[in-house]
Amino acid sequence: MMVGREVALRVDRAANQGTLACEIKALKVTGENGATTVDNLNLRIHAGEIVGLVGVEGNGQSELLEAVAGLRPIADGVAYLDGKSTAPLSIPERRAGGLASIPEDRLARGLATGASVAENLVATRLDDKRYVRNGLLDLKAIKANAEKLIERFSIHVGGPGAAVGTLSGGNMQKVVVARELSEQPKLLLVNQPTRGVDLGATQFIWRSLTDARDAGAAVLLSSADLSELLALADRLVVLYRGKIVAAFVNSDELTPETPGTYMLGIASQTPAEMQGALR
């Protein structure tokens, strides 16, 4: 009744995996204090699937996503995007190669709240000749892009020139999602996609993520909401103290209690038990 319409938080999981989009081999990441946050992690993400990172917050999920995105240095190991090592690539080069990222904190990492909706929607494309010509912003093209994305992603805003900071939390998040999904990514890194947003925005964001998956994106998703991961992910890997301790192919029979046992470090699977779900 608060949203003003029927809301059904149900999605269809993917039927088939596509080609290998991202491979992470023996990845090690350290924190600011030098402590290891991700340790010897191996993972493969295919086109057309959502892989969910399950774990109590602080067990390496954010550091893993930031390392692949280029926001955090890798201490050891390597991540491959479409068969190419990301090690020598800058963030713009990774984006040009098909990587997109929805960060954990939309205010700190995802948006410039004092800038307009239109400006935020092209903030990662300032080298794109569609929006910048001879070093000058093409304001007409930027406005047209914003109008198109505002309609496509149902962003409730007075117009492209409105400051992002004046929007509700759900509409701010839609601006981030619209920018990252406006062009079909090969690899989509998603961290806490619906934190602090209303039920209606949650439904729309879920549908946007599954639409991107169905269009061929490989999605690596982290969420503090286990029910969200169970609803969206095709496969789940459980992280405990920076290591994968369990992996599951998602199904209606998988209950929260099963991964919950591994999240707390009470149990861990053998490599043989994880093998099928880490394919």
DSSP class per residue in the chain: --SSS------PPPS---SEEEEEEEEEEE-TTS-EEEEEEEEEEETTEEEEEESSTTSSHHHHHHHHHTSS--SEEEEEETTEESTT--HHHHHHTTEEEE-S-IIIII--TTSBHHHHHTTT-TT-TTTEETTEE-HHHHHHHHHHHHHHTT---S-TTSBGGGS-HHHHHHHHHHHHHSS--SEEEEESTTTT--HHHHHHHHHHHHHHHHTT-EEEEE-S-HHHHHHH-SEEEEEETTEEEEEEE--TT--THHHHHHHTTS----HHHHHGGG-
**Does residue 137 fall inside a structural domain?**
no
Residue 152 in domain: no
Per the structure, the complete domain to which residue 268 belongs is given by 20-112+184-278
Give the mean pLDDT of 180-205.
Answer: 94
State residue 9's pLDDT score: 67
Residues in the chain: 279
Number of domains in the chain: 1
CA dist 173 and 64 (Å) reads: 21
Which residues, listed in sequence order, are joined to residue 51 by a DSSP beta bridge? Answer: 220, 235
Query: Do the domain assignments include residue 204?
Result: yes
For residue 71, being part of any structural domain is answered with yes
**72 occurs within a structural domain:** yes
Give the pLDDT confidence score for residue 252 in this predicted structure. 84
Which residue has better confidence, 260 or 45?
Answer: 45
CATH number of the structural domain spanning residue 87: 3.40.50.300
- Judge whether residue 236 has pLDDT over 70: yes
Percent of the chain with pLDDT over 90: 79
Domain contains 163: no
Query: pTM of the prediction?
Result: 0.93
pLDDT above 70 (res 93): yes
The verdict on residue 34 lying in a domain is yes
| pLDDT(210) > 90 | yes
Mean pLDDT of 207-211: 95
Structural domain includes residue 178: no
Separation CA 69–CA 211 (nearest Å): 21
